Structure formats: C-alpha cells, structure tokens
Amino acid sequence: MMLMPARRASATAAPTSWSQLPHGEWLKEELSHALAPHCAKIFGYYLARVGHLSKSLEMPELRVRHQFSAAKTEGADIQTDLEYWPFAEGVLDGVMMIGQLEFERDPHQVLREISRSLIADGHLILAGFNPLSPATITGLWPSNMSKPPWSGRYFSKARINDWLSLLNFEIVGCGYVAPTMMIPKTASANFGLKHVSRFIPQVGAMYYVVARKREFPLTVVRNKQRAKPPVNALPLANRVKSPDVEPK
C-alpha cells in the first residue's frame, strides 16, 4: 500500500474549541482520563500546549511549573507559525499537541521543530484523529467534509510512531480512546461501540502517543594497536638474527 505524501500545498483551519466537534466535551474527558497516568510521570519547568484543543485540556497530573499555549490563530498565549516557532534549542521540558498535526501544511517540519526545542529526555504528548475509526464514515457526508475534524488530513498511529522514531523519540505509551461515530444527533456518544472497543481498540475516534526524546552521545572508538613484545620475550625459534654487515 502506497502512502500519500504528508506535506500538502496549504494548511487547513484546525478546531479552536472542543465544542466544534461532535460530542466534544465527552471526547475531551475520555482523552484526559487516558493520558492521566502518563502525565503523572512528567515534570519540569516549561511545557508548551500546541493548538487550542491542548490549551483547554485539563490535566492536573502534569507537574510542570510553567505551562503556556501556542497556536497560529488568536486566543493563545503565543501566536506563532508552528513550522518555525520562536523557541530556542533544548528549552522545553514537554510539548502537548492535541488534534493539530492533521491540519498542518508540513507535519514533518512541525515535529522537527518540537524535537529541536525539547531538552534531552523531554516528553511529547500527541493525540490525533484515528483514520481507522468508523467515525471517518460520518465524514463522507457532503456537509461534514469541510468541518473539523474531517477537514484535516488523518495519519495513523503507526505512521506517527515511525516519524517519531526517526527523530530519536522513544514511545513510552500509546493507545486508542473514545469509540464513537461522531454523530451529533445521537443521544449516546458511544453509539454501541463501547463493547466493540474492548476487542477492537482501533475503533476509537482518537489515538494518543506519549514519547520521550532520546539523545545518544557519539563517542569515537579508536582501534587499539597491539604493542609489540620485546625481543627477549619472543621464543627462541621466532627470533630473527640480523645479518652481519661488513664494513666497506
């Protein structure tokens, strides 16, 4: 199966609030509950919440002193281009990106910027919309194709893991959450998929990946030359007698 290039001509407007998504508040609670055990292990001084969905995700388990939001549109603490953002190299202890990568022009470049700004052993918390979920069928309806989240470009969790491994990230946690068809008129968000998700987790509308940036030092390994043993230490049979040179 041939994958389409991740980069495209232009970016798409990302959702600015959970209320834009069908059963958005339920999605937020499901994701927050799944990420809680992983966030409890993350601590530090600075954490960037990328995108408006990340900004409003309540994660009291995060033990990071200073948390701020970053997005391309107004309403964030820092308004910036995510492909070339203003953070120096190795200054962030963590980055959280929720439902944002699907709407970027060049997701590879966005991940490179995140990797550059993270310290060694810094954490990336990334969540996106699952292309294997039955909720993608709802997006085929003509009136939904131009609405988030279906207006974005979906990437599978396996593909995200491959990208992160190329950037020397170690996957410390991942999974699927929120099994739903994303039909706003249904009374139940699960719509009968809760029991199915116990056996087929891939029906979850969202996936999450928790990764840690690893840096391996490059140490030059030199080939040690074997020291020549002294002549006296050689066996008598191995000694070579120098020929006598007669003076001219």
Residue 183's pLDDT is 87
Measured in whole angstroms, the distance separating CA 28 from the mean position of its chain's CA atoms is 19
pLDDT in tens, 116-153: 999 999 999 999 999 999 999 999 998 898 999 999 99
Provide the whole-model pTM: 0.83
Judge contact between 132 and 206, C-beta under 8 A. Answer: no
pLDDT in tens, 88-109: 999 999 999 999 999 999 999 9
Least confident of 6-10, 172-176, 225-229, 244-248: 244-248
Strands 43-50 and 92-98: parallel
Q: Which residues contact 155 (CB under 8 A, 6 or more apart)?
A: 6, 101, 102, 107, 128, 131
Least confident of 38-52, 72-86, 191-205, 223-237: 223-237
Angle at 169 between CA 127 and CA 34, to 5 degrees: 30
Number of Cβ atoms within 10 Å of the Cβ of 167: 17
* pLDDT at residue 243 greater than cutoff 90: no
Q: Residue 200 is which amino acid?
A: I
Number of Cβ atoms within 10 Å of the Cβ of 242: 5
H or E segment at 53? Answer: helix 52-55
- For the residues 150-169, what does the mean pLDDT come to? 95
Q: What domains can you pick out in the chain, each with its CATH number? A: 18-218 (3.40.50.150)
Which two tokens mark 106?
């060049």
Using left for φ > 0, alpha for ψ between -120 and 50, and beta otherwise, residue 51 falls in left
Q: Which residues pair with 206 in a beta bridge?
A: 129, 177
Instruction: Give dist(CA 76, CA 68) in Å, integer.
Output: 8
* pLDDT at residue 231 greater than cutoff 80: no
Residue 15's pLDDT is 94
Measured in whole angstroms, the distance separating CA 71 from the mean position of its chain's CA atoms is 17
- Residue with the bigger pLDDT between 50 and 145: it is 50
* pLDDT at residue 2 greater than cutoff 60: no
Sheet architecture: strand order including 43-50 = 78-79, 63-71, 43-50, 92-98, 118-129, 204-213, 169-179
Residue 217's pLDDT is 57
pLDDT in tens, 14-23: 999 999 999 9
Average pLDDT of the chain to the nearest whole number: 88
